[in-house]
Amino acid sequence: MTSRNRFESKSVIVTGAGSGIGRETALAFSREGAQVTVADINQTAAQETVSAIEAEGGAARVSVVDVANAASVELMVEGAVDAYGRIDVLHNNAYWAPLNRSAVDTTEEEWDQALAVTLKSVWLGCKYAIPHMVKDGGGAIVNTASTAAFIAGPSFAAYIAAKGGVVALTRSVAYDFGKQGIRCNGVAPGLIETPATVDVFNDPARVGPIRAHQLLGRHGQPGEIADAVLFVASEDSAYMTGQTIVLDGGRLAG
Ligand SMILES: NC(=O)c1ccc[n+]([C@@H]2O[C@H](COP(=O)([O-])OP(=O)(O)OC[C@H]3O[C@@H](n4cnc5c(N)ncnc54)[C@H](O)[C@@H]3O)[C@@H](O)[C@H]2O)c1
């Protein structure tokens, strides 16, 4: 347990919180006192995260959401306001994209779905949460980007395009709403060990080039990204907005 309490009684929404980075982030917010809306399309997975939070004595609730659907995201936001009175932090983290698809191989359906779940979702979260945050005096938005926004990898065209969009949208939201008390920042993980990356770790052609450039000689853990999410969501980064910080073991530096 942490000795810090930066989110005491704050209302925090984490999307994609049923797994991987989102689950660790939801747990980390709870350990610092937050009331967490655990939002995911997978109800069973979201309930597992809520149960883990409750087992530690924290407060959390499930929100079953399709982040690609406007009505569903609006319900997620309104449900958090109904339950906890306000929204202090929104962590847009859910994603989907097809692996092993170059720009030529990607189907129109895959492109539309990847952009909807990975990029449109970030816009929708901002669209519905910001008016509440502004009304209640401000808030922090944290978008999960990726090193893929800054450096390409093999055959991952829709994902790379969507994450580039997330970094740009983060700046746009920061620009438009800074004076109304909204900070909007991103975190860009490198290769992190989660259920999403099992196939990457099992494919030497994919993992080899990444490993060769990890200056710390290892991949990352979800908790290491959660630590950064809490930093950019907290008053510890009160003068930071429009930025995306990279946590990649040195991949982009080397
Ligand atoms: N794992 C990595 O190496 C890595 C690297 C860079 C960036 N990221 C980013 O981190 C974030 C989390 O990735 P992860 O590795 O924890 O993934 P994950 O697969 O472990 O978790 C993703 C979660 O999103 C949920 N989800 C999928 N579609 C959804 C939808 N339409 N609506 C609501 N929820 C939906 C899934 O049910 C799942 O619980 C993503 O934005 C990803 O792009 C991950």
pLDDT in tens, 131-177: 999 999 999 999 999 999 999 999 999 999 999 999 999 999 999 99
Nearest to 126 by CA among 87, 79, 154, 82: 87
| pLDDT, averaged across the chain | 97
Nearest to 40 by CA among 195, 198, 183: 195
- Rounded distance from Cα 42 to ligand 1 centre (Å): 12
Residue 44 token pair? 């069973």
The separation between CA 25 and the C-alpha centre of its own chain, rounded to angstroms, equals 9
d(Cα 19, Cα 86) in Å, to the nearest integer? Answer: 25
pLDDT in tens, 59-81: 999 999 999 999 999 999 999 99
Give the residue whose CA is nearest to atom 14 of ligand 1: 20
Q: Structural domains in the chain?
A: 11-247 (3.40.50.720)
Residues whose beta carbon lies within 6 Å of some atom of ligand 1: 15-16, 18-22, 40-42, 45, 65-68, 93-96, 117, 144, 146, 189, 191-192, 194-197
Mutate to test the pocket of ligand 1, among 13, 14, 15, 21 (most ligand atoms within 8 A of CB): 21
- Rounded distance from Cα 179 to ligand 1 centre (Å): 31
Residue 30 reports pLDDT greater than 90: yes
Q: Report the nearest atom of ligand 1 relative to the CA of 17.
A: 39
The SS3 of residue 239 is: coil
95 catalytic? Reply is no
Which residues touch 212 (CB under 8 Å, ≥6 apart)? none
**How confident is the model at residue 2, as a pLDDT?**
58
